[in-house]
Copies of this chain bind each other. A is one copy, B any other.
């Protein structure tokens, strides 16, 4: 085994913006899973060391259907934010087959133009089978970038099912990207997409049908405002990300939303909800591990498979056993 990392030193160096320290910390939270030797001791140490230095970054999630230009939009946003002198983190969460963990869409161009910029931290993360789509370690990776002094962290995923929700759960501000002519599926999903969007961007706005898509969205937004008035009127921005057009407007919309989050108290509410979800997930994962260690679970399953017991009664028994074990079983 290699020497244990000096976490305090890494965090100190990351806070000074050292790229290597940031990369190393993210690697640590990515690889130190519950199954590692030491059972997440390093991850826990990193989490504890980071906590006091977090909460400053504006976390922006980008989501939308495949092909809409998320990668290009992210890159254009990085350029615009850098022009304003802001430090930017990018977490690109790659889609994975639910079966094999292999990436479905393969490697994408990962914003090579920003590779030599000291004020940009870019990281791709695999999405490995954590329920819900985003990698288990994504929240901690966000905290690393936050502690490293990023003003904005952009989280980009593919817009397939569950992963969209997870981005929403992580982000202060969620940008939903659409494009003209994406067909009926987008139309049908629109109502759902509006529920999670803080900012809507119609990318490829130089294409046929852009005006119609924008009008449809604005109408839907106006209707949604009646149903769920939040005090934030969701803007619909038009962009041609590949040429950088409309990106200034997109940045302005993000800034406006950030200001609104602070004014309205929604920022704190969202962060609190996020913390609840994360604590709950970590707790449930630990319970799941304990169940896996229990012989009684296997015996109950045998009886359920044989039709001798129904699964609800079996769960009652399992819960009883877990309760009797108490909470002395070590760390999460």
Interface residues of A (CB under 8 A from B): 40, 43-44, 47-48, 50-55, 97-100, 102, 104-106, 131-133, 139, 160-162, 164-165, 185, 188-189, 191-193, 195-196, 268, 271-276, 278-280, 282-284, 286-288, 291, 297-298, 300-302, 304-316, 318-328, 331-332
Give A328's nearest chain B residue, CB to CB. B323
Q: Are B98 and A161 in contact (CB under 8 A)?
A: yes
Other-chain residue from B282, B307, B331 in contact with A311 (beta carbon distance below 8 A): B282
Q: Are A189 and B283 in contact (CB under 8 A)?
A: no
Q: Are B47 and A311 in contact (CB under 8 A)?
A: yes
The 3 A-B pairs of least Cβ separation, nearest first, read A323-B327, A99-B192, A282-B315
Task: Chain B residues near A44: list those with CB within 8 A.
Answer: 310, 312-313
Assembled-state Cα–Cα distance A312/B97 (Å): 28
Other-chain residue from B191, B282, B314 in contact with A102 (beta carbon distance below 8 A): B191
Q: Are B283 and A291 in contact (CB under 8 A)?
A: yes
Contact A312-B325, Cβ < 8 Å, known A55-B305, A268-B305, A276-B297: no
Other-chain residue from B161, B192, B286, B300 in contact with A161 (beta carbon distance below 8 A): B161
Assembled-state Cα–Cα distance A185/B97 (Å): 11
Q: Are A192 and B97 in contact (CB under 8 A)?
A: yes
Q: Are B98 and A164 in contact (CB under 8 A)?
A: yes
Assembled-state Cα–Cα distance A257/B266 (Å): 55
Give the distance to chain B from A4, nearest Cβ to Cβ, in Å.
17
Q: Are B310 and A47 in contact (CB under 8 A)?
A: yes
Give me 14 other A-B pairs in contact (C-beta within 8 A), A52-B307, A284-B291 excluded.
Answer: A44-B312, A48-B313, A97-B191, A98-B192, A104-B188, A131-B132, A275-B302, A279-B304, A283-B287, A283-B318, A283-B319, A286-B319, A323-B323, A323-B327
Give A313's nearest chain B residue, CB to CB. B48
